[in-house]
Chains A and B, each alone.
Chain A
């Protein structure tokens, strides 16, 4: 049975630069996925609730303000709290390489910085989403 991959693309925090997030959303749609786009200023709580209600396979978040070390691990933690740790979490934006190990230790499965070809994140999602149901 061909199952549609559903991905939530969100902008956590207050930063309004959504060029990257919108590009990712369009690229995922063009790769045949269903993308739930929630726009700017999402709190970790609202992102997690949305991910659960929409039963997405992955959550992608873009941050350019430097708040990534606070917000990304928070989302992972809340997903776990709600028993939804099977949802894939990835991040993007202006994130220094030196922060990536910290984020990965905290459950962010991948970080895509500017210049990443879309093929790379599309394949990452296809290969890593849960295979059941």
Chain B
């Protein structure tokens, strides 16, 4: 283990497991060790399957290690919706770092965590941030809402695309395109690169009026180490930009992060209370009997909460 790091890897790994299995229990630990570390760079890497995200991550780790920085990685792969099992294979591409004491890699199944992917990932990243890593990388596959939520905790989001996706880019446009801070076109030695660049530029232009940071487009062939320096340069540009103009971005993120955590907690608690007191079940019965409906019930719930809050 690198001496800058506060935890033994085995302890860190066990805490992560605790977060995945027992978030409430883990909170007791987190509240004591949490440290807002503004020096830590948090990078999100996402994109469709087969885009070469893990190869890119591997190269980025190498670059940071070359600078002597410690790197923590959380790689999320989808779990089977039927069995809850998962095959987590992102480490294959990062094999060179398995014995490096300055690199910690953790694979996660998207459904392996209680209470949703995003809250657990936030906790894990907060834990790793507090343990003193210089750089954190979170890698997710795909374009679902929960992946977008995960990406909301990154300072810089790399969206990795490959040429030859055709109309898929159009389909990606909603949501995922907007979270990209840097577009990486990987496998840029394949046909169709220019077309993809043009499409991305079009989308950037459409959104330009509401962008503070204009996302650059970088071409790479990660497996051949081509274009990686450019990626690093853009990440560092983004970093400088965040330091100069991005105080709002960082503050916004902290506040939206906490909002999400709070929502998750309060919502969960209220539901638990309603279920405990049998109110929830009762409402459901009323609905089916036609004596009430969800909108009436919401109104009622509103009233109840107002009373509870004002009491305190």
Contact = CB atoms under 8 A, between A and B. Distances in A.
Indicate whether A and B are direct neighbours in the complex (CB within 8 Å): yes
Interface of A: 1, 3-4, 6, 25-26, 28-39, 41-43, 45-46, 49-50, 52-55, 82-84, 133
Interface in B146-199: none
B13 A46 contact: no
B260 interface: no
7 contacts: A30-B85, A35-B87, A36-B89, A45-B98, A46-B95, A54-B106, A55-B16
Given A3-B21, A34-B107, 19 more contacts: A4-B109, A31-B85, A34-B79, A34-B86, A36-B88, A37-B89, A37-B92, A38-B89, A39-B89, A39-B92, A45-B99, A46-B95, A50-B91, A52-B13, A54-B107, A55-B10, A55-B17, A82-B10, A133-B14
A99 B87 CA distance: 30
A41 to B, nearest CB: 8
Contacts of B116: none
B83 A30 contact: yes
A42 B104 CA distance: 17
Contacts, number: 93
B85 A33 contact: yes
B52 interface: no
B18 A133 contact: yes
Interface in B80-137: 80, 83-89, 91-92, 95, 98-99, 104-107, 109, 112
Nearest to B13: A55
Contacts of A38: 89, 91-92, 95, 98
A131 to B, nearest CB: 13
Contacts of B80: 29-30
Contacts of B58: none
A54 B99 CA distance: 13
Interface residues of B, number: 30
Interface of B: 9-10, 13-14, 16-18, 20-22, 79-80, 83-89, 91-92, 95, 98-99, 104-107, 109, 112
Given A29-B87, A53-B104, A55-B13, A34 B92 contact: no
Contacts of B104: 53
Contacts of A133: 14, 17-18, 21
Contacts of A54: 13, 105-107
B99 A1 contact: no
A43 B99 contact: yes
B146 to A, nearest CB: 17
B20 A4 contact: yes
A46 B99 contact: yes
B85 A39 contact: no
A111 to B, nearest CB: 23
Given A4-B112, A36-B88, A42 B17 contact: no
